[in-house]
């Protein structure tokens, strides 16, 4: 038997209604360095944060995954803030146990049909707002080396998945705000989001069935010295009280199930800005053609991962940054001429 350190929940499991989540959502936004408004999202990570050792099961408390440069190379690591002191940990050493305290009932509301389960069904939800008896998983781009060396931000991609059910990751902002789906395993992979430097975000993770889930995330960025860096690793979730979290340590995602994030570029490479409305949310565009013949229905579904908005945002930010550098250089040149 493997010796494990268990961190987190000791309270009994509780049953909540998902409608309560919809009624009182909390906006997940980029964290600020000090005195921000989002309680629980503001954090500054110690540049001397220690590396944790040994395997841990975390069933309550706060943790984030994100890019790091503290080991001397670009890595995806987990920032374990569930106890004191905090640690950076390698993903293979961490299992996030989602207990039955995370069980919620899917509301009878079309807004939540993206979950792919019937209203009234129970699903496990790692919530956007912290629940004391449920692991609180988010992501950040706040490791000091990342903040110092990354140019603008990070592309975060879901590139692989394995589990007994489906997983959906969504945000819900403001009072009664509509859900915004970030990632869904019901759609084709890869799926991408753009994360600015110094961002700390939590969202709702929905798991439709108990069991072991392996979630492969990729983090990609350009450093200020021009270096392009890419890393991916597996997040391990043990969902449900009846699931043995130790099994997740041994579980491995089939390499064949991991897709190349560059295929997202190919999927919508032929689109221009006009193909994606300015106010639309990056997601999946379904084009359905149904031809009905003699007792024959032919359905053709084309799935496109739309991340045009994301790339447009990055391009504009880089153009603005280049223009500022040119302006500074010209100002310096004019100053020398004046002398």
Give the start-to-end residue ranges of the domains of the chain.
5-259, 262-339
pLDDT over 80 at 245, yes or no: yes
141 secondary structure, DSSP code: -
Instruction: Specify the long-range contacts of residues 172-180, CB closer than 8 Å, at least 24 apart.
Output: 172/21, 172/22, 172/25, 172/128, 172/204, 173/25, 173/27, 173/28, 174/25, 174/27, 175/24, 175/25, 176/22, 176/23, 176/25, 177/25, 177/27, 178/111, 179/111, 179/112, 179/114, 179/204, 180/281
Checking if the pLDDT of 157 tops 80, the result is yes
- Say what the pLDDT of residue 101 is: 98
Q: pLDDT value at position 22?
A: 38
pLDDT at 291: 30
Region of poorest pLDDT, from 102-111, 254-263, 287-296: 287-296
Task: Return the minimum-mean-pLDDT range out of 6-10, 69-73, 160-164.
Answer: 6-10
Average pLDDT over residues 111-124: 96
How many CB atoms neighbour CB 208 within 10 A? 21
Model pLDDT, residue 12: 31
Evaluate if residue 270 carries a pLDDT over 70: no
Check whether 282 has a pLDDT greater than 60: no
75-81/61-68 β-pairing: antiparallel
The overall average pLDDT reported for the chain is: 78
What is the arithmetic mean of pLDDT over 41-53? Answer: 89
Residues 309-330, mean pLDDT to the nearest whole number:
63
Contact between 172 and 180 under an 8 Å Cβ cutoff? The reply is yes
> Highest mean pLDDT: which of 11-25, 151-165, 268-282, 299-313?
151-165
Lowest mean pLDDT among 211-225, 231-245, 251-265: 251-265
At 87, list the tokens. Answer: 């640690």
pLDDT at 234 over 90: yes
pLDDT at residue 25 is higher than 50: no
Share of the chain above pLDDT 90, in %: 60
Mean pLDDT of 78-106: 97
Pick the more confident residue, 225 or 302. Answer: 225
pLDDT of 173 higher than 80: yes
Separation between Cα atoms, residue 214 and residue 221, nearest integer Å? 23
Q: Bigger pLDDT: 312 or 215? A: 215
């Amino acid at each position: 038997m493997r010796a494990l350190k268990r961190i987190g929940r000791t309270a009994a499991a509780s049953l909540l209604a998902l409608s309560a989540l919809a009624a009182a959502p909390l906006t997940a936004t980029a964290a600020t360095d000090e005195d921000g408004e989002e309680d629980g999202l503001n954090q500054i990570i110690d540049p001397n944060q220690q590396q944790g050792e040994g395997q841990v099961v975390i069933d309550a408390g706060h943790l984030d995954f994100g890019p790091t440069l503290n080991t001397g190379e670009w890595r995806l690591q987990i920032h374990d803030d569930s106890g004191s002191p905090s640690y950076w940990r390698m993903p293979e050493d961490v299992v996030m146990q989602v207990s039955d305290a995370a069980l919620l009932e899917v509301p009878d509301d079309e807004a939540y049909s993206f979950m792919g389960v019937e209203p009234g069904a129970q699903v496990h939800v790692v919530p956007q707002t912290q629940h004391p008896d449920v692991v609180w998983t988010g992501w950040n781009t706040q490791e000091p080396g990342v903040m110092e060396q990354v140019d603008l931000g990070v592309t975060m991609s879901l590139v692989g998945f394995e589990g007994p059910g489906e997983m959906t990751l969504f945000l819900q902002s403001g009072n009664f705000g509509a859900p915004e789906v970030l990632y869904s395993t019901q759609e084709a992979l890869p799926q991408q989001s753009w994360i600015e430097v110094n961002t700390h975000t939590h969202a709702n993770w929905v798991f439709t069935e108990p069991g072991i889930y392996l979630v492969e995330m990729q983090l990609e960025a350009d450093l200020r010295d021009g270096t392009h860096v890419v890393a991916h690793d597996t997040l391990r979730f043990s969902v449900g009280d009846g699931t043995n979290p130790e099994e997740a340590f041994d579980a491995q995602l089939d390499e064949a199930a991991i897709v190349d994030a560059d295929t997202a570029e190919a999927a919508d490479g032929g689109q221009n800005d006009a193909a994606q409305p300015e106010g639309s949310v990056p997601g999946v565009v379904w084009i359905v053609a149904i031809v009905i013949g003699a007792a024959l229905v032919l359905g053709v579904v084309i799935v496109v991962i739309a991340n045009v908005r994301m790339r447009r945002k990055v391009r504009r930010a880089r153009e603005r940054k280049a223009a500022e550098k040119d302006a500074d250089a010209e100002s310096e040149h004019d100053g020398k001429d004046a002398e």
